[in-house]
C-alpha cells in the first residue's frame, strides 16, 4: 500500500509575494502552448495556486520539491488553489490591510465589478460558510459549501432560486470547481480590500 503524502501547509510569505501588483500584472503563471512555443499563459489571475514540479513553463529542474506559488486564471485554477481567506490573511499580515468601507476609493478600470459588493463578500465570516453555488442533493438545492478560492458574479440562471436574484446578477464566493466564468480578477479584490494603497 502506497503512503499518501500529507499536503504541506500554505506559506503566508509566498502567498503575499504573489499578491504583489507587479506579479499580478504579469498574469497567470501556468505554462501553455502559444502557437509552436510553450510560454506563460498571462491571462488575468483569479486565484493563487501552488504548482507542482511539472506545472511550470520554465525549466522544471529549478522548481523546489514542495512546489512554487503563482497566480492562476480561471482556466488554470484546477487544483491546489489557496483558499481566498488564506490570501486575504497573508495580505493583512503583510501590513497593507484597509478593512474600512470609507477608505474604498472609486477604482478606475475595474467596472463592471462592484467594489462594495466585493468588499462585503470578503468578510471572513462569509468566506468560512463556503461556496454559495446551488447544488442538488437528494432532490433538494443547497449551497455547495466547499472552501472559497474566488468571488464570482452570477447570472439569473446560475442559482437554485432564480426568482430572487437581481437582473444584473449577484456576487458570491465560489470553490475552484464552480469558478467557471465571470470570476472577479484577484487584482480587483486586492485593490478593494487594501483601499488601492498597495
Is 43 within the bounds of a domain?
A: yes
Q: How many helices (H) and strands (E) does the chain have?
A: 6, 8
Write the CB contacts of 197 (distance below 8 Å, at least 6 apart in sequence). 96, 98
pLDDT at 100: 65
- Whether residue 68 sits in one domain with residue 114: no
Which of 2, 171, 1, 190 has its CA nearest to residue 96?
190
- Whether residue 122 sits in one domain with residue 75: no
* Band of residue 136 on the pLDDT scale cut at 50, 70, 90: confident
pLDDT over 80 (residue 105):
no
93-102, 111-120, 170-179, 180-189, range with the lowest pLDDT = 93-102
User: Is 166 or 50 the better-scoring residue by pLDDT?
Assistant: 50
Burial class (CB in 10 A: 0-12, 13-18, 19+), 100: exposed
What sign does the CA torsion over 79, 19, 129, 4 have?
positive
pLDDT over 50 (residue 190):
yes
pLDDT at 126: 87
- Whether residue 67 sits in one domain with residue 47: yes
- Whether residue 185 sits in one domain with residue 102: yes
Is 53 within the bounds of a domain?
A: yes
- Whether residue 118 sits in one domain with residue 167: yes
For the chain, report the end-to-end CA distance as a whole number of angstroms.
49
Query: What residue numbers bound the domain in which 75 lies?
Result: 12-87
Mean of pLDDT values over 91-113:
67
CB 81 within 8 A of CB 47: yes
Is 92 within the bounds of a domain?
A: no
**Interhelix angle for 84-93 vs 186-193, to 10°?**
40
- Whether residue 175 sits in one domain with residue 102: yes
pLDDT at 45: 92
Mean of pLDDT values over 42-63:
71
Pairing of β 170-174 and β 150-154 = antiparallel
Is 1 within the bounds of a domain?
A: no
* Band of residue 157 on the pLDDT scale cut at 50, 70, 90: low
Is 7 within the bounds of a domain?
A: no
Is 6 within the bounds of a domain?
A: no
Mean of pLDDT values over 28-47:
84
Is 3 within the bounds of a domain?
A: no
CA 183 from chain centre, in angstroms, equals 8
- Whether residue 187 sits in one domain with residue 116: yes
Mean of pLDDT values over 34-52:
85
Is 93 within the bounds of a domain?
A: no
Full 3-state SS string of 82-150: CCHHHHHHHHHHCCCCCCCHHHCCCCCCCCCCCHHHHHHHCCHHHHHCCCCCEEEECCEEEECCCCCCE
- Whether residue 134 sits in one domain with residue 50: no
Q: Which of 87, 115, 133 is the last residue of a domain?
A: 87
pLDDT over 80 (residue 6):
no
Q: Which of 87, 118, 139 is the last residue of a domain?
A: 87
Q: Which of 87, 115, 143 is the last residue of a domain?
A: 87
Number of domains in the chain: 2
- Whether residue 108 sits in one domain with residue 63: no
- Whether residue 118 sits in one domain with residue 36: no
Q: How many CB atoms lie within 10 A of CB 22?
A: 6
Amino acid at each position: 500500500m502506497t503512503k499518501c503524502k500529507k499536503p504541506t501547509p500554505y506559506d503566508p510569505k509566498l502567498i503575499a509575494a504573489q499578491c504583489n501588483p507587479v506579479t499580478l500584472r504579469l498574469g497567470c503563471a501556468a505554462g501553455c502552448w502559444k502557437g509552436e512555443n510553450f510560454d506563460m499563459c498571462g491571462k488575468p489571475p483569479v486565484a493563487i495556486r501552488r504548482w507542482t514540479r511539472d506545472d511550470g513553463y520554465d525549466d522544471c529542474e529549478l522548481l523546489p520539491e514542495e512546489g512554487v506559488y503563482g497566480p492562476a486564471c480561471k482556466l488554470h485554477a484546477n487544483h491546489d488553489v489557496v483558499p481566498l481567506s488564506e490570501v486575504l490573511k497573508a495580505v493583512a499580515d503583510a501590513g497593507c490591510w484597509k478593512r474600512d468601507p470609507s477608505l474604498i476609493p472609486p477604482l478606475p478600470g475595474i467596472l463592471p465589478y462592484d467594489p462594495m459588493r466585493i468588499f462585503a463578500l470578503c468578510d471572513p465570516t462569509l468566506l468560512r460558510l463556503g461556496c454559495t453555488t446551488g447544488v442538488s442533493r437528494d432532490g433538494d438545492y443547497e449551497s455547495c459549501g466547499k472552501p472559497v478560492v474566488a468571488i464570482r458574479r452570477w447570472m439569473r440562471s446560475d442559482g437554485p432560486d432564480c426568482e430572487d436574484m437581481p437582473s444584473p446578477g449577484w456576487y458570491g464566493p465560489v470553490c475552484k470547481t464552480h469558478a467557471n466564468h465571470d470570476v472577479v480578477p484577484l487584482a480587483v479584490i486586492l485593490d478593494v480590500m487594501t483601499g488601492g494603497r498597495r
